[in-house]
Structure 1
Amino acid sequence: MTAVLPGRATAAPPRSRASWLLLPAVALLLVFFCFPLAVILWRSFTEPDFGVGNYLAVLGDEVQVRVVLRTLRTAAIITVATLVVAYPYAYAMSRVGRRARGFLTLLVLMPFWTSVMARNFAWYVLEQRGGVIEKAFDAIGIHGVALLGSVTGVTVAMVQVMLPFMVLPLQNTMLGIDRGLLHAARSLGARGPVAFLRVYLPLSRPGVLAGVSVVFIMSLGFYITPALLGTPQQALAAQVIGTQVNDLLDFAGAGALGAILLVVTLVVLAVIGRVAAPVATSAAGGTDRG
């Protein structure tokens, strides 16, 4: 043991020194996120009169309630569709070699290197009347497919935009799964599909929950894709908030609608946290037993 000499200050623990590195990020978060959010919430309760009148107006307006429900439904559909597409892709990434995995990762990350506006205008060209998608359906005998200006068209484009946010958590989780467990399940008599559903799928649940939470929450507030590919008749919450702020100058009403979406987001995070807690506990228990 090393004796501490009297009068000499001991060095700060490494963890204490490292915590100071969080200060710039925390300050940035407080100034550019928490403070504007607090201002929005304050205005939603104080303009034009103090109280919950703006929230009652939102909840009592059939159109705005329909917009909120449409936003939740669309976000849920986008999340499920993204998971269906991303899960086999991430599974393939976890099975192939290093070079093939790098190529598949490159394909996933390519949307991050492309402007969001460029991607959405590309979907605009594909989904417009007489575009590639309509001609492809006409070629197989399905006529009158019009995706532009519909919730379906917005959903298809959003799935492509959100795909990396689902693939990357899934891949990270799947790379940590011991494939020997599948071989052990087969040696005990479980067939391939049964072993996958009973062993592999539960082990990949943390990645599923992480991807689902990110995609669903981002889909709730996404603005560019619904604004460009959708219509005012099928508007989502972000479009309505933009109209209230830019056209009607109704900052209090927009803040109330945004606060309702924030509450929905927190509820979703709480539910996912409750679902994920048993998974983390069982994983920790398995590690301790190992």
Structure 2
Amino acid sequence: MAADTAAPPKRTLSPTGRRRVGGLLLLLPALVALTLFFVLPLLSIVVDSVTDPEPGLGNYASLFTDGYTLRVLGRTLLVALVVTVAGVLLAYPYAYMMTLAGPSVRAVMVTVVLVPFWTSMLARNFAWMVLMQDGGVVQGVFGLVGLGDITLLGTTTAVTISMTQVLLPFMVLPMFSVMQQIDRRLTLAGQSLGASRFSAFRKVYFPLSLPGVAAGASLVFVLALGFYVTPALLGSPQSSMIAQVISVRTRDLLDFGGGGAMGVFMLVVTLAVLAASRRLSGPGGAAGAAHAIVGGNER
């Protein structure tokens, strides 16, 4: 009599494995879209930057040897830095006051921050053009103090002012998000131990709010690097920024290699800024600041 042969048991996925497979299937459309519309075009730009017009790193070498390109890169980085610093100085007090205000006043203040998101950026830039044109409101105000001959429109100063106003909401919201999570009893505890109100704010509250400052500053700096509309409308060819130069090189001069090298360079700068910001505002950033404060007091 032949021995009965038992069929091998079927292997089934555990509930955890099924959830992982289901999650991967849900991510698949997004991964395909990301690959087609971001990764492949980015790879194409990188390849053009090292092959057009001839293979090599000549396009990258010209970034640091061509005087005009260096001036554009320096101007772009400087404007982005000034916009970021001005945004921090303007946004920090506003975000702090939002944490102190009552629910009704806070709702109004949040609405004021969100209004620019509901207005076209093009319309806001045209409004600044009207304000800064010769004979406009800004020049009239300067005229009251004997500075009526100052021209703003077509200068880097006009671009910086407009970009600061446009990007200010991106600075306020991250700061407010972090500040509203800070326990205000910490500053009261510092005052109860003999510290003045300003000293308690400087040594306790301000370090805990730095993750929000870092997050907002990195976001504004990265956005400012790639601005095109504002410099094109309020600036001039003599004060061009990198986005304008890339557009001219690729659209008018068909210099895809040079434009690609500039784009890759700015991408590297952006990644470096985001990496530095992550160390300050990433998970545990506020906890790390609190630990540093406690450690400093213990020492």
So what's the TM-score if we normalise by structure 1? 0.90
Moved more, 267-276 or 240-249: 267-276
Q: Does 1:101 align with 2:101?
A: no
User: What is the CA-CA distance between 1:253 and the residue it aligns to?
Assistant: 0.7
Indicate if the aligned counterparts of 2:208 and 2:290 stay in contact, CA closer than 8 A.
no
Q: How many residues align?
A: 281
Give 1:214's aligned residue. Answer: 219
User: What is the CA-CA distance between 1:49 and the residue it aligns to?
Assistant: 1.2
**Match runs of 1:1-290 below 5 Å:** 10-12=14-16, 16=20, 17-18=22-23, 20-276=25-281, 279=285, 282=288
Question: What are the ranges of 5 or more consecutive residues in structure 2 without an aligned counterpart?
Answer: 1-9, 293-299
User: What is the CA-CA distance between 1:163 and the residue it aligns to?
Assistant: 0.6
Q: Secondary structure at the match of 1:51?
A: coil
Deviations 1:85-130 (A, max 9, x none): 1111111111111221111111111111111111111111111111
User: What is the CA-CA distance between 1:18 and the residue it aligns to?
Assistant: 4.3
Q: Which has the larger radius of gyration?
A: 2
Distance 1:75 1:237 in 2: 11
Root-mean-square deviation (Å):
2.1
Distance 1:131 1:195 in 2: 45
- What percent of counterpart residues are identical? 49
Deviations 1:26-64 (A, max 9, x none): 333222222111111111111111111111222210110
Q: Secondary structure at the match of 2:64?
A: helix
Q: 1:270 to 1:150 in 2, by over 3 A?
A: same
Distance 1:168 1:22 in 2: 29
So what's the TM-score if we normalise by structure 2? 0.88
Distance 2:159 2:279 in 1: 31
Give 2:3's aligned residue. Answer: none
Q: Secondary structure at the match of 2:207?
A: helix
Q: Secondary structure at the match of 2:270?
A: helix
